[in-house]
A and B are shown apart, each in its own frame.
Chain A
Amino acid sequence: MKIPDLAELALRNLRESLLRNSLTTIGISVGVASLVAMLSLGTGLQQLFSRRLAKSGLFDTVIVSSRRELRGMGREEERNGPTPGESRVLDESARLEIEQLPNVMEAYPDIRFATELRFDDKPHLTMISALPQSGKSNDAFEGMQGSFFSSDTAAEVILQKAFAEELLGKTPALGAPEPGVADLAKPLLGTELTMRYAQRESAPPPAPPLRPTEGASADQSLAGSAYSVVSREQKLKIVGVCDLDPESMRGPMRAKVFLPLKLAENLHIMQPTDLREIARANDQPVYASISVRVKNPNQVQTIEAAIKKKGFTTFSILDASRSLQQVFRVLYAFLGIFGSLALTVASIGIVNTLVMAILERRREIGIMKAIGASDGDVRKLFFAEAGAMGILGGIAGVVLGWAIGQIINFGTNIYLKSQSIPPEHFWAVPLWLAAFAIVFAFVVSLISGLYPAGRAARLDPVQALRYE
């Protein structure tokens, strides 16, 4: 029989016992819906996490430092890399070079220093770091009170919540409820604090040494490296207080106060590296480390390798993200297995329905065989019926699963709102999942149809026609 004929006859037969076949099809659709619901929850959660991770800046950032820093990030470099003295200086030209690498969005120096801030005439010692304008998209600033820096050079600061607590003398006792960011921000926003810092100032060449050194060239090369350190003050306006810590990956080095990057650069704040590089004949700024933002977390590894080749030490949290993917794969498998359970039950329903149909249509099968239907025709007809139920159930199931997802998403977001957490989209039915679910339902139905179809095909026409 031709396929259109098969489909037509199958649909006609399904309509004949409408109630029973509808119930079976609903069974399949519930099975598919549960599978779709489970897998779309998995997909949605994964997308949510990747979105969050991408925003956190944890997984698309490579931190580059020179081995001259003498703070080894790993033992591997100590064994294989060049000795600290021979490795490259992480200066402005190195930064530009890294920024030119393909797939690098930006490479900015980490300006990070501990200094004293005065607020209400009280000194507070803390770690300060500089942020580029692109840091705005970091999700640590999502629940921020106030605003991000108005420009890259504005004399403004953003405080991390913990430091705001310190300024206001509201540091809560361990275990006590933390004050809200809004409450902390209210008295602080718009007020000023004063930063005291050490400025590096290029000084005129020093007087020639009393005793001439071996070569004049050495004198020349040293000429530009002299500088003096001047104590300065800078008034800064508090524009924002953020809840989360944008520098969670820095460990003990993380800062609690943030300045705009260009402002920090222009202030020529004395960096720890400056002391070490004092002997170098170069007026270019030298950085302790550089943050490199990569376009896509997938490219972190390649870029790390490229930077390492240039003789620097790198650090990223890629490994963490890799094990996270592993976790998602396992979660996916689990959700899939649970989702498939309902479909397995539904497939037993198909077997049951078709076996019943054989009993009912025994005579009809006998007639068809008597007038020339082959075993194959009868088998195909039952397969077509099973397949049609599978496809119809699959489509209905995808719609149902999507609807369930929407409802749960909606409900959860109402709950999130009541907890004053911004709403999230953690339920996604991508096209491939919908297609997969329908195909899967079809295949499962065909497998369920194997036994009934075989049984119908083998039916003896003489006996079937005698039966009344």
Chain B
Amino acid sequence: MGETLIRAVDGVSLAVHSGDFVALLGSSGSGKSSMLNLIAGLDRPTSGSVVVQERDLAKLSREELAKYRLHVVGMVFQSFNLIASMTLAENVELPLRFAEVDRSVRETRAREALERVGLKARMNHRPSELSGGEQQRAALARALINRPQLLLADEPTGNLDSHTGTEIMDLVREFNQQLGMTVVMVTHERALAERYAGRMIFLADGKLVDDRPNSPTSLAGAKERT
């Protein structure tokens, strides 16, 4: 088997402004996840640049990229990606361990973050004892803990039913609006993007095919509820 070079993301040029809520849309294999990994600093472009807050990720060392992921980025995934052997509290405070934050500070901040997502009562449970929605909420708490400016979500509702999916998305919107976090969300559900995102970017075969603003339809309903 020979290796074929596949350009997952090719010639895409886009700028995301601070405080935006951007949805990356496309069918599977369109390159939207690769795009997200580039922004997250998990992957490097073979050519070109990814500039976040005046930093070119392509030029950072591995060590600097790790620091960037730790302090600037919070990530949530389709499959939650909590560590099974740790309790929720331990999962949530794990980034603080890498940031060498003192134990006492870690505990308070983990409790606060779990409280914010409504899981304070479950903080000593292991992920396997929780529902999918609860796990994703814990993952959001973990993404929040280092107070990052950028929240990257990769199909955050992909493994959830529509009701819990809505709950999660409401939380994401809350982070965006109340904490001022910039959100970049990958999804293949156009309806979801239309309800929450302020801007929709369509990718196909690694190329940008459409980029248009959107007025989120959920906002009115949410306001009514609160």
Contacts and interface: CB of A to CB of B under 8 A. Distances in A.
A330 interface: no
Interface string B78-96: 0101110110000000110
A460 to B, nearest CB: 8
Interface string A362-390: 01101111111111110000000000000
A1 interface: yes
B114 interface: no
A370 B40 contact: yes
B168 interface: no
Contacts of B79: 468
Interface stretch (B22-30, B47-55, B66-74, B203-211): B66-74
Contacts of B218: none
A15 to B, nearest CB: 9
Contact of A2 (B67, B81, B100): B100
A12 B94 CA distance: 13
A370 B99 contact: no
B63 A367 contact: no
Interface in B89-112: 94-95, 97-100
B77 interface: yes
Contacts, number: 70
B40 A5 contact: no
B129 interface: no
A12 B85 contact: yes
A103 to B, nearest CB: 58
Interface in B177-215: none
A321 interface: no
Given A363-B81, A371-B75, A376 B63 contact: yes
Nearest to B79: A468
Contacts of A462: 37, 42-43
A363 to B, nearest CB: 7
A16 B86 CA distance: 10
B77 A465 contact: yes
A285 interface: no
Contacts of A465: 42, 77, 81
A132 interface: no
Contacts of B137: none
A87 interface: no
A268 to B, nearest CB: 88
Nearest to A2: B100
B62 to A, nearest CB: 6
A461 interface: yes
A13 interface: yes
Given A1-B97, A377-B98, A369 B81 contact: no
Given A1-B100, A462-B42, A462-B43, A371 B85 contact: no
29 contacts: A1-B97, A1-B98, A1-B100, A2-B100, A5-B97, A12-B86, A13-B85, A367-B83, A369-B42, A369-B66, A369-B69, A370-B77, A371-B69, A371-B98, A372-B69, A372-B71, A372-B95, A372-B98, A372-B146, A373-B70, A373-B98, A374-B62, A374-B67, A375-B62, A377-B98, A462-B37, A465-B42, A465-B77, A468-B79
Interface of B: 37, 40, 42-43, 62-63, 66-67, 69-71, 73, 75, 77, 79, 81-83, 85-86, 94-95, 97-100, 142-143, 146
Listed from nearest, the 4 A-B pairs whose CB atoms lie closest are A372-B70, A374-B66, A372-B69, A367-B81
